[in-house]
Each structure stands twice: as C-alpha cells, then as structure tokens.
Amino acid sequence: MTIFRDLSETRDLVDSFTRPAESLLPVSRLREDPAGEAARWNSIVELGWLVIGLPEDAGGVGLSVVEETLAAQTFGRHLISTDYPAAVLAAHGFTQLGEADLANDIATGARRAHLAFRARQGGGLFAIDATDDGVLVVLTEQGVDIFENARASLHDAEHWALPVNSVAAAEPKWSLADTGLALRGRLLIAAMLAGIAGEACNRGVDYAKVREQFGQPIGAFQAVKHHCANMAISAYAAQELVTFAAVSLAEGTGDADHLVRSALNLALRAARDNAGLNIQVHGGMGFSEECTAHLFLKAARLLDAAVGGISAVRGSLMRTV
Amino acid sequence: MSETALEQFRADARAWLHANIPAHAAPLEGPDSRAFVLDWQRRMYEGGWAGLTWPSEFGGRSLTVAQQIVWFEEYARAHAPSTHNASFVGLNHAGPTIIACGTDEQKAFHLPRILSGQVIWCQGFSEPGSGSDLASLRCKGRIEGDEIVIEGQKIWSSYADIADYQELLIRTDPDSSRHKGLTWLICPMDLPGITVRPIKTMAGPAKFCEVFYDQVRVRIDEAVVGGVGEGWKTAMATLSFERGTASLALQIGLVEKIERLAADCTDPVLAPRLADLRADAAALKAMSYSFALASESGTPGSEGSMIRLYFAELAKRASDLAVDLYGIGAEELAGDHGWSYEYLEAFSETIAGGTAEIQRNIIGERVLGLPRGKA
C-alpha cells in the first residue's frame, strides 16, 4: 500500500519550530566562536529540539517521526553537533527502558549524551566530542546501547573537526533491543546527512555564481555547472527519500525497513559527494581551513562512522525484503 | 479520496489488468507493432482505462494523481506492455498539445481517435543539424494562401513508418531565427511528397526514422495548432499539461526490475552495486510521487528535469548490472524484451529528448539559476 500524504502543513510547522537555527546556528560559528557551542547547546535544549518526537507524557513535544526527520534535515544544514542525534536516541531509549529520570536529565540538558561507535577493528569504542561525563550512545542493529563515559582516552583520532576519543568501555550499561528505534536512529542520521548534502550544494552553487575567472562567473562553465547539477540531484533525491521513508515509518508500512536503509545509503553518498564537490567548486579557498567547506565533509564522515560505515549499510540493505 | 476508496480503485485496476493483459509480448517494430499497440489501446479504452490523465471533457477520466500512481503501480506489477510504445506520442504529447492549443474542430476530430486506439502519432522535431539545439531547426514551411508547403527533413522520428500523423515543428518565417517564426503542425503521414526511411538502432529494431518532405501541402486551418509562428509556445504548452505522471509507468517499472535483480543476486561482489541501485530506485519513486502530487495543486516545478535525468542514468546502471549479473548467453538476456535489448536500448536514455549534458545545463540554469556561458 502506498501512502499519499500532503506534508505542506507539517513542513510549515517544522519550519516555524526550527527557524531559530538561522540565527543560533550559522555555520560560520564553528570557525569564529567554537567555544560558544556550550551556551548554544543550552538554547537548543530550551527550544525543545531534543524531544520533538518524544511523547508528551514523557516530557516531549509529542510530534511524529515525520516532524523529527524534517527538523533533523534543517539541523544537518546547520552542522549541529553529533550530540544531537545522541541526545534524541538517549531520550527515546531511556524512556522505553522505563528510566524516566535519566530521560528527563537528557531532555533538560542536565546530562549530556555523545555519539559513539564501534571501532572497525578490535571491538573498542570511539566517542565523538565526549568531553564531559555525558553518556555515550551507540546505534546498533537491534536498538541502542548506552555506556557510561569511562573517559580512558587511549588516543585521539585527529582531523575530524571534533575530538574522537577511544573509550575503555566493554559492556553497555543500558541496552535496548527495539528495531523500531534502530530504524528511527538511522533515519535521523540520514536526515542530517540529507541536510548536509543540501547545504553543501547551496554553498557550492552560490559561490559558482559570484567567483569569476576568465571574465565570467565560474558557474557559466559547463564543467562547474554540471558539478552543481549533480549536487542538486543528489540533495533532492536524498531529501525526498528521507521524507518518503519517514512517512512509511510513521504509518508502519511493510517496506519501512527497506526505505529507511535505502534513505541512509543514499544520504551517506549524497553528503560525502556533495561535500567533496563543494570543496572542488571553491577551488584553493575550499581547501583552506578558513573556508567552512571542509566542515561538511568531516560532519558527513563522522555520521558515516556512527552508522558503521557505508559498506555495512549496503550490506544491510541487501538483506531487506 | 479516502484510503478505502483508493484501495478499491486499486483492486479494480488489478482485476482488470489481470484479465486483459495481452498473452504475447509486444513486437518491437513494423506493422506487427502497430497492430499490437492499437489493439492494446482499444482494449484499455473499451475497459474504461484510457486517458486516465486526460480531462473528462475530452474523453479522459480526470483521475487524481494518487489514482494515476496506483494505476501505474498496478500496471507495472502486472507487467503490462511498456507505455513507451508507438502510442506514447499521441497520448502524452500530441493529444495534450491539441487539448491545450487546438481548435474545436481539431479536438473533435483527433482526440477520440487517439484515445480509442485508431491512430498512431509520431514526433517530427529533431533534424540532422538540430539535435539538442532544437531551436536551430531549418525544416521550412512556405505559406501559400490557405496552405503551408513543407520542404526539408526530420530525423529520430520514432514509429514514423507506422504512424498516421506527425506532430511537426517547422520554420514558417524564413527570416526568423531560434524560437521565433516556428509553427507546430498536424501532418498526415500519407500525404504526397513524404518519404519515410527507417533507421536500424544499435539495439536491433528499426523503430526510428528519417522523414523527408518534398513540397508537402497541408491546410493551415486543419494543420496548425496554436497559430502560425507560435510553434515554440505550442511545444512548451505540452509540458505544462504534463503533470509528471506520463513517465510514472516507466519509473515504477524500473523500480520493479531493480527489485527483481536484487532478488536474483547471490554474487557478493555485485551486492554493493545492487544496494546502491535499490536505494536510488527508492529515491526515484519518492521523487516522482512527490513531484506528481505537488503539481496537482499548482504548476509543476522545475524538479522534473532532475527526475528525468535521474531515471535515465539509473536505467543505464540497472541494465549494465543485469548483464554483469546474468552474463551473456543467459536466458534472462535473451529475447525481444530481455536484458540484452534493455542494456543496448538504455544508451538512448541519456541522448533522446536532450542529452544528459544538455539536461545538466538546464538544471544548472533553470533550477539553480547559474549564468549561461558566453557563446
């Protein structure tokens, strides 16, 4: 069965709810005022962005996975911290585990949550930006595992704009088996990646309109124009599929699992491709630290790591019906 | 329409298709192809399944976009004959253009014939010197009293050898250039002075043709649609009628084919490519449904150009993988509609109707607002 749902009102609602991101989270903040992220996080908590899809009786806004997913696309555009999907998953996870106090701590910002992932080799754990004693959230195939942050950093993985620490934490303190939440987490990350793909495209296109070489804007050259067209197609496909999958997950249609994994696969490719093309279109400036183009690439790669890498995502997609 | 009513509509469509699907696969070329296509169209017409996208005042069913999507889902699921056959131009191009710009007489004469499967139409737009750059076309029409005398050549005209009529775009103002001075004509294919020469394609069939016009005379009042010199506007009007559903059957059909490839794939080396294809197929569906539904309440957005290119490139990748998966000599590759044919035929997808390169220029300029290059 195909679900036909008019989302225009839903989009308007989510747009009004996420509009403060324009002033609160300009991407330039990450270069100009990285220290201000802590204060900005408090604003994010106050705006209720961590609990959009949490039921009202659990202290949430009470909207569906569709609204949660649309909002995550916007937050992805603004390169919101990886703490964001960690907190959303922790709030859902603790609520379902019956740990209302812990869920409340996450929702009110009393305790932070950080995204973590299993190392590709050796079975260890890496945490992203886990600079305090917040819990570590790992998205698994079956649901979520949540760890206390042991902070026994063995080494840092540099280069990724955010610190990535190895963590000595063998067993999760809380483990939730809920394939619905596992899918919801994947869709949330797919939505952020689709947002990254869309914003990288916009920035590449904007630059191609103003940067001049050989007496004309570089966007007039077909080679550059075609890069831009490719970015636009990738971003459009990722955004439409993420939303389509969200509706199917909300309605519980039989192909929801397949659509969510498809959305994640596509969004992973769209985000990294567009981030790379945005750097290319920016030329020498794109390769500089000063330009923010590299931040989209690094954010895409960290989210890729958090879902186990694109090979794992491809493999899981071939097992869905 | 309620979900229950829509599911009832689906059940009706499924039952009718099940009972009426032709027993034999569609022939790819020549008179057999004509007979098959007209027979199938007649059968859909008599069953009440013709002109689903056409307004009811012209014999169509004025279905909602959701219903059209459901119909095409069932159509693909039933493996009904490809809609990209000899009836495509009449139903999706010429007919809608006559609805948008034709005279009452033209509507009364042509529309019922197209809908009920009495006639085949072909398109006469491209010329040897005017491919992607359509506005450079030079095929001439000289106005003599109440007639136009056509002189010149067209090419890549699919099914011209079996067509009754052609939608023909020619230059009627000899002093004009580019988009001005063009006229959109209904040209009967049996007129004296018309010579059709089929061209064999790399995929086998001789389905598209060169057409030569030697002093071919048509009456202005019968032939011209949308006014002499207004041909470009008329050609564009077709696009605004088209609500993005004309290609839905093809798009849904491609998604189906990719799912079948995935079910057949046991090769771990090909699995990652297939995973990407499946994801992209799901995106094609998401985009085309959302686009069609959005255009129901307003004019279609410019995203259509992105979906079209996405489809073309996905079709090429899918058939490329199919040949890798089954291998030359396999049963899946054999026959008129096997993957060998699909693979070779798919190379036309990124050429016909504007090459992929031109499509990317259009996306860059019309969707993204990038500047045109200096000529």
Instruction: Give domain limits for chain B.
Output: 3-115, 121-231, 243-367
Rounded to whole angstroms, how far apart are CA atoms B316 and B57? 39
Q: Does any CB of chain A come closer than 8 Å to the CB of residue B66?
A: yes
Q: pLDDT band at A292, cuts 50/70/90?
A: very high
Spell out the domains of chain A, with CATH numbers in brackets: 180-318 (1.20.140.10)
- Per-residue pLDDT at A124 exceeds 60: yes
DSSP bridge pairs for B186: B167
The residue type at A195: G
Return the pLDDT at B375.
59
Q: A275: which 2 tokens?
A: 């981030």
Give the predicted TM-score (pTM) of the model.
0.94
Question: If you average pLDDT over every residue of chain B, what do you get?
Answer: 93
Q: Does any CB of chain A come closer than 8 Å to the CB of residue B275?
A: yes
Q: Residue A315's closest chain B neighbor by CA?
A: B272
Q: Residue A243's closest chain B neighbor by CA?
A: B286
Of residues A2, A225, A317, nearest to B370 (C-beta): A225
Q: A274: which 2 tokens?
A: 């567009």
Q: Does any CB of chain A come closer than 8 Å to the CB of residue B145?
A: no
Question: If you average pLDDT over every residue of chain A, what do you get?
Answer: 93
Q: Does any CB of chain A come closer than 8 Å to the CB of residue B11?
A: no
What is B3-115's CATH superfamily?
Answer: Acyl-CoA dehydrogenase/oxidase, N-terminal domain (1.10.540.10)
Transcribe B46-82 into DSSP letters. Answer: HTT-S-TTS-GGGT-----HHHHHHHHHHHHHTTPPP
Q: pLDDT band at A162, cuts 50/70/90?
A: confident
- Catalytic annotation, residues of B: 242
Cβ-contact A293, A200 below 8 angstroms: yes
- Per-residue pLDDT at B293 exceeds 90: no
Mutate to test the interface with A, among B245, B252, B350, B360 (most CBs of A within 10 A): B360
Of residues A219, A236, A245, nearest to B306 (C-beta): A236
Query: Which residues of chain A are within 8 Å of residue B357 when distances are taken between CB atoms?
Result: 222, 226
- Output DSSP code: residue B154: E
Rounded to whole angstroms, how far apart are CA atoms A292 and A126? 25
Rounded to whole angstroms, how far apart are CA atoms A74 and A89? 18
Query: Which residues of chain B are within 8 Å of residue A240 when distances are taken between CB atoms?
Result: 283, 286-287, 290
Q: pLDDT band at B336, cuts 50/70/90?
A: confident
Q: pLDDT band at B302, cuts 50/70/90?
A: confident
Cβ-contact B35, B43 below 8 angstroms: no
Of residues B279, B370, B373, nearest to A266 (C-beta): B279
Q: How many residues does chain A have?
A: 321
Whether B283 sits inside 8 A of A1 (CB atoms) is no
Q: A6: which 2 tokens?
A: 């008019």
Cβ-contact B62, B54 below 8 angstroms: yes
Residue B200, burial from CB neighbour count under 10 angstroms (0-12, 13-18, 19+): exposed
Give B132-142 pLDDT, tens digit per residue: 888 999 999 99
Rounded to whole angstroms, how far apart are CA atoms A82 and A11? 23
Query: Which has the higher per-residue pLDDT, A130 or A175?
Result: A175
Q: Residue A245's closest chain B neighbor by CA?
A: B286
Give B91-127 pLDDT, tens digit per residue: 989 999 999 999 999 999 999 999 999 999 999 999 9
Of residues A220, A226, A269, nearest to B372 (C-beta): A220
Map tokens 């998966």 to a residue. B325
Domain B243-367, what fold? Butyryl-CoA Dehydrogenase, subunit A; domain 3 (1.20.140)
Query: Which residues of chain B are within 8 Å of residue A216 when distances are taken between CB atoms?
Result: 371, 373-374
Q: Do domains B3-115 and B121-231 have the same CATH topology?
A: no
Give A251-286 pLDDT, tens digit per residue: 999 999 999 999 999 999 999 999 999 999 999 999
Cβ-contact B97, B251 below 8 angstroms: no
DSSP bridge pairs for A218: none
- Per-residue pLDDT at B239 exceeds 70: no
Map tokens 């004009």 to a residue. B176
Enclosing H/E stretch for B199: strand B194-199
Give B187-204 pLDDT, tens digit per residue: 999 999 999 999 999 998
Domain B121-231, what fold? Butyryl-CoA Dehydrogenase, subunit A; domain 2 (2.40.110)
Q: pLDDT band at B84, cuts 50/70/90?
A: confident
State the complex-level ipTM: 0.94
Q: Residue A270's closest chain B neighbor by CA?
A: B280
Q: Which residues contact A133 (CB under 8 A, 6 or more apart)?
A: A148, A149, A151
